[in-house]
Structure formats: structure tokens, C-alpha cells
A and B are shown apart, each in its own frame.
Chain A
């Protein structure tokens, strides 16, 4: 039963973030794109936090966030985007989809760990 779902098509980023979160006491499930992320979220109700890239094949991260609130009707899980994207339009779309926060890559675990832990337990 994972607390965090880590969604990124890049295995380099996925492994880096998963390893960091695991080494700090969190349970993490990886997913390779938005479609895989939705499937994993459906299968594991214990997930409290989704960290997701935006630009991915098959289904992008913002579409996945919209489907989490829409199709899955899951308002409890927190969604944070971890992406190279930084455009106001994308962030507005994310806000409308109910995402909780935005991190511009590269990932700096130390700077965000405390907040991520709070979101997992909130």
C-alpha cells in the first residue's frame, strides 16, 4: 500500500525521486505515464500524494490530474506536478484541475521533503 505515486516517463527522474522518497521513509509506487498512473491509483486507495511529470507519452500529467478529479472522482489525493514546464497557462490549467503544487525540474528533494510528508499525512 503506497503513500506516494511517482509518475514520469523518464526512468532517470523516476528512480531518483523514488529512491529519495523511500530513503526518507515514504512508500512509493512508480508509473511510467499518465495512463499507467491512473491505473495504479485506481488499484491502490492508500495513495495520498501523486507527483507527476507533465509531458509524457500516452497521457500527459495534466490530463491525468483532470481525470483523477473527473473520472475517478478522487478529491482526496494531492497532486503535484514535477516538470520542466513553467508557463502560467499550464499552471492555470493545473489549478483548475485541482492540483496542489508545482515544482520546476530539476528535483531538489531536500527543499520539498517536509511539505511532501505533510501532504501524505494530511
Chain B
């Protein structure tokens, strides 16, 4: 992981360089990348992997992937058509540029590189995947407050959180998601929670005991909504100044395509993604249930102006009554 940075990114590695795998893995580690490699190299298998991994930061692709001349380029065309938001980085054998590719194919790639010189790739990765810095203290604070909020709503679960990561993907995970605006003098954007309805419904039902049998998706909506509300409130109390600064009224359309499970906020900047996993203590055989949290600061991002509010909860803890 890059020194001083707690945020990583997941990349799909479509490369045949088995003999260079160790050096490629070391490079990924240095760059804060978590590499995912497919077991099978068929196009259908890779497109299936893309379908189940909706939180990628980019794709490292070998020009002749699958031991076929130009196989990587064909694959890139398919990937680029279905997920154009994902940056593609092309490994070539001889030259570290896109010479020889037609203009349309060349435009699919953020850069071309060779294994002999990874510096160019490193610089391009920084500029495309890690182009936005999320302060470590902020990420840690978000993780703490979200875990606490989830614990309140899912008291029957142990909650794990993975290392926070950056995503370029715009695909929505699962069927149910919440969206709430975050407004401050230093950031403007949105927070989302995304989950699979059936899996989370199971957790909610089992947690409610006998009453759970009558629960419908509306109760699930309410639980996820209240989770969002608690985290939003905690975020505001901790990171949004109490001064009444006049806020910009700028807005951009949010585009949602249900057919493709796609959501765009009009910005290409990498989103901060945190994956929480709920494990039910009383049902150890139940599969763990993931909930994804994403932050998209598409309207303003000035973390240098971030000041954590002094704790106002030292006198009164959450849940206690402050009488006037």
C-alpha cells in the first residue's frame, strides 16, 4: 500500500504474464491496488466476472490476452462498450505507447506500458484511479460512525469492514439503495448505501424474531433509510461546520438507468467505497450479507478546508436526554 494512504482500489488483471506475476503483484501492492485475476480466460467468463464485480477501479489488460494475437484488444472493445467508465491500461510487448492501433481502439486506453518500465503506468494510475485524495482521518471517521450506526440497526450482527477503496464503476450493487445529499462548506455530493434485497431482508426478518415473518420490503427500506439517516447525522455533527455559510445552489442531473443498473452523478472522479459485512451471531450458517457505502462528492471537494468539529457529545452521549 502506498505510504500514508489508507485507501486502495480493486483492479481486474487480464494478463498472461505468469512468469512476471510476482513483479506485477509487487507493483500492485506498491500502488495500493488489489488485483483480481480470472480463473478462466474466455470472454464470456470475463464479462461474467465484470457483472459480479461492480466496484472496480480499473482494468490492467495484456494486448495478446488469452495467448491470441490481439485477443486483449477484442476484449477491450467488449469491456469498453459495456463499462466505459472503467479505465483500461494496456500492456504491450515492445512499445510503451498505442502506436499501430487504430484511432478508435487507441482511445479506449488510458495508457500503454511494458513490463520493463512500469513508471509510466504508475503515473497514469495515480492520475486516473487515485486522482482524488480522501484524508485518512476522514475515512477512518466515516468507518467508525457507519459501523456504530449499522450496529444500532442490526444489533444481532457482527459487522466487519474491508479496507476502503476507490471505484470508477458506476454500477449499482443489488436492488435496494439509498441516496442522501451531503452539503458543507468543504464538500458537496451524495452518500449511498447499496444492498441485495433478499439477503438483507433475511437479516432483518431473522433479527425481528416472530414479527419478522410479516415484514415486507417496506420495513427493509425503512431500516436502510434509518441507517442512512444516522450516518448522515453523524457525518454532519462531526465534519460539517455549524456556521451558516451560504451554500452554492449548483446542481447537475443524476442519471439512473435501471436496465443497466447504472447511476451517474456527472463526474468521472473516483468514488470512495466501503464494504461492510453483516454476520448474524445467532445464525452462523447464514451467508454473510454485504452492504456497500459510497461517497460521491461531485459538486465540491475541498478537503483542505475540512475541520473536525469539537465533540459535543462529551456532555451528553447519544440517546441521552439533554434538558433545556
Contacts and interface: CB of A to CB of B under 8 A. Distances in A.
Contacts of B223: 12
B152 A85 contact: no
Given A83-B233, A85-B236, A12 B153 contact: yes
Contacts, number: 90
Interface stretch (A37-45, A69-77, A97-105): A97-105
A83 B153 CA distance: 15
B318 A108 contact: yes
Interface stretch (B96-104, B164-172, B224-232): B224-232
Q: Which of the four size classes fits the interface of chain B?
A: 20 to 34
Contact of A115 (B229, B323, B324): B323
A111 B152 CA distance: 15
Interface on chain B toward A: helix, strand, loop, or mixed SS?
Answer: helix
A10 B225 contact: yes
Contacts of B229: 10, 55, 84, 105
A46 B222 CA distance: 30
Interface string B126-167: 000000000000000000000001001100000000000000
B218, B222, B317, most chain A CB atoms within 10 A: B222
A106 B230 contact: yes
A84 B236 contact: yes
B218 A112 contact: no
B65 to A, nearest CB: 48
Interface in A4-51: 10-13
Contacts of A115: 321, 323
A85 B313 CA distance: 12
Contact of B226 (A13, A88, A89, A94): A13
A62 interface: no
Interface string B187-222: 000000000000000000000000000000011001
A80 interface: yes
Contacts of A85: 233, 236-237
Contact of A87 (B237, B316, B317, B319): B237
Contacts of A86: 233, 236-237, 312-313
Contacts of A84: 229-230, 232-234, 236-237
A7 to B, nearest CB: 15
Given A84-B233, A86-B233, A88-B242, 16 more contacts: A12-B153, A12-B219, A12-B222, A12-B223, A84-B229, A86-B236, A86-B313, A87-B242, A89-B242, A89-B244, A99-B324, A104-B318, A105-B230, A105-B319, A111-B320, A112-B321
29 contacts: A10-B226, A12-B219, A12-B223, A12-B225, A13-B226, A55-B229, A83-B233, A84-B229, A84-B230, A85-B236, A85-B237, A86-B237, A87-B242, A88-B312, A95-B324, A100-B323, A103-B322, A104-B233, A104-B322, A105-B233, A106-B152, A106-B230, A106-B318, A108-B317, A108-B319, A111-B319, A112-B321, A115-B323, A116-B321
Interface of A: 10-13, 55, 80, 83-89, 91, 94-95, 99-108, 111-112, 115-116
